[in-house]
């Protein structure tokens, strides 16, 4: 059994496996080298051999306990024929959204458009370097995907209030998103991923209708994934009440964000926990890193815990800080 599966299944597990959200990305010189030659990000995600190579880059360097497939949560709108572009310094930009067109797309067309993602997973999952390691597949949660599809860019700076004006439209769109997320999850599992993580990066933006827009559709995906026999990790970033989220949704593991008090989490949350460390700690010095990492490891020493961050690793992170992090976690007794 892999260290992460052991942590999920055995309440008394003393292992502290480690992987890092967004581990396959811009802080790695070997990724930047490939990226410089491939200006079209979506095409790069659809390049079977390069996406497989990028997925394995952080494993080769740091020997993490899991690889996460090199792809993006926005491959879903791409698969639904909404244009998705990544412009330098601007982040993602999405094209027009046509509900009639979305309603006419069938599962086969969608799966065909993303076929390279699944082929890359099949190729990667049999690589001997992943022996006794998990290959993590992922999706964005329905709410976060909805935000990008309607807002057409990151809501970091402004989330248009227009999103909620036409409730019927939002409802219809959520149904479509959920349907295709299920297909995307199933395809990834069939291709060989051993865990699914659901990223709800913008869960914290929603102040009302949380049960309708976050809880219900997420619960549907979690139950669907469990039925397929694969563990599911949820990351409802910024959500007010992680305890309540875990009680209702019951994922196999929850990734806490860096604003969650780990002492409170360990007391309240009864399921395995992942993550928490503020990615900015990796931009400080080794002494501070040591102090912060040991703090998390101490707090979770009697709770099934997978070491990870409280959000994605920052592009300016130095390689030697990641090496140090892995060393601290592996040497902790
Ligand atoms: O974890 C990994 O290393 C695997 C690959 C992965 C990417 N995106 C590749 C990527 C994963 C798991 C994601 C998830 C993702 N994508 C999320 C959820 C996690 C989070 O950070 O909240 C979100 C919100 C996105 C959407 C997205 N993709 C944004 C906002 C951006 C631009 C800003 C950024 O973070 O870089 C991307 C681009 C992106 N996705 C890059 C990578 C490696 C950078 C592309 C580049 O090289 O320019």
Q: Give 12 Cα–ligand 1 centroid separation in angstroms.
A: 34
- pLDDT band of residue 15 (cuts 50, 70, 90) is confident
Domain count within the chain: 1
Nearest CA to 251 among 131, 177, 133, 141?
Answer: 141
**pLDDT number for residue 157:** 65
Residue nearest to atom 34 of ligand 1 (CA): 91
Mean pLDDT of 248-273: 98
Any idea what the CATH number is for the domain that residue 83 is in?
3.20.20.210
**Cα(3)–Cα(23) distance, rounded to whole angstroms?**
18
Nearest CA to 262 among 307, 198, 329, 197?
Answer: 307
Print the domain residue range for 123. 3-331
- pLDDT band of residue 158 (cuts 50, 70, 90) is low
Ligand 1: lining residues by beta carbon, under 6 Å:
21-26, 35, 41, 68, 70-74, 86, 91-92, 138, 154, 199, 201, 312
Residue 160 reports pLDDT greater than 80: no
Mean pLDDT of 37-49: 97
Q: Give 92 Cα–ligand 1 centroid separation in angstroms.
A: 9
Please, which residues have CB within 8 angstroms of residue 111's CB and are 6 or more apart in sequence?
Answer: 118, 183, 187
DSSP 8-class letter at 307 = B
Residue 329 reports pLDDT greater than 70: yes
**pLDDT number for residue 89:** 80
Residue 154 CA: which ligand 1 atom is closest? 30
């Amino acid at each position: 059994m892999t260290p992460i599966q052991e942590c999920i299944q055995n309440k008394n597990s003393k292992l502290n496996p480690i992987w890092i959200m967004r581990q396959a990305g811009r802080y790695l010189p070997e990724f930047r080298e490939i990226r410089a030659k491939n200006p079209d990000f979506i095409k790069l995600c659809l390049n079977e051999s390069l996406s497989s190579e990028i997925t394995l880059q952080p494993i080769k360097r740091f020997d993490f306990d899991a690889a996460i497939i090199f792809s993006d949560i926005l491959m879903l709108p791409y698969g639904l024929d909404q244009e998705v572009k990544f412009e330098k310094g601007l982040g993602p930009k999405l094209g027009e959204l046509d509900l009639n067109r979305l309603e006419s797309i069938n599962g086969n067309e969608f799966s065909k458009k993303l076929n390279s993602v699944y082929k890359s997973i099949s190729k990667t999952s049999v690589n001997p370097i992943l022996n006794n390691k998990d290959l993590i597949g992922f999706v964005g949660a329905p709410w976060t995907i909805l935000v990008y599809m309607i807002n057409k860019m990151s809501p970091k700076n402004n989330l248009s209030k227009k999103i909620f004006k036409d409730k019927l439209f939002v409802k219809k769109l959520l149904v479509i998103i959920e349907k295709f997320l299920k297909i995307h999850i199933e395809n990834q599992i069939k291709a060989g991923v051993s865990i699914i993580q659901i990223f709800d990066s913008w869960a914290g933006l929603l102040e009302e209708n949380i049960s309708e827009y976050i809880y219900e559709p997420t619960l549907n995906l979690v139950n669907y994934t469990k039925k397929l026999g694969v563990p599911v990790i949820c990351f409802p970033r910024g959500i007010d009440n992680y305890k309540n989220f875990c009680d209702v949704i019951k994922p196999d593991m929850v990734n806490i964000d860096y604003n969650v008090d780990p002492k409170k989490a360990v007391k309240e949350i009864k399921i395995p926990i992942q993550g928490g460390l503020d990615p900015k700690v990796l931009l400080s010095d080794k002494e501070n890193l040591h102090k912060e990492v040991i703090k998390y490891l101490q707090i979770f020493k009697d709770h099934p815990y997978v070491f990870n961050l409280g959000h994605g690793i920052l592009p300016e992170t130095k390689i030697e800080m990641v090496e140090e992090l892995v060393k601290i976690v592996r040497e902790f007794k």
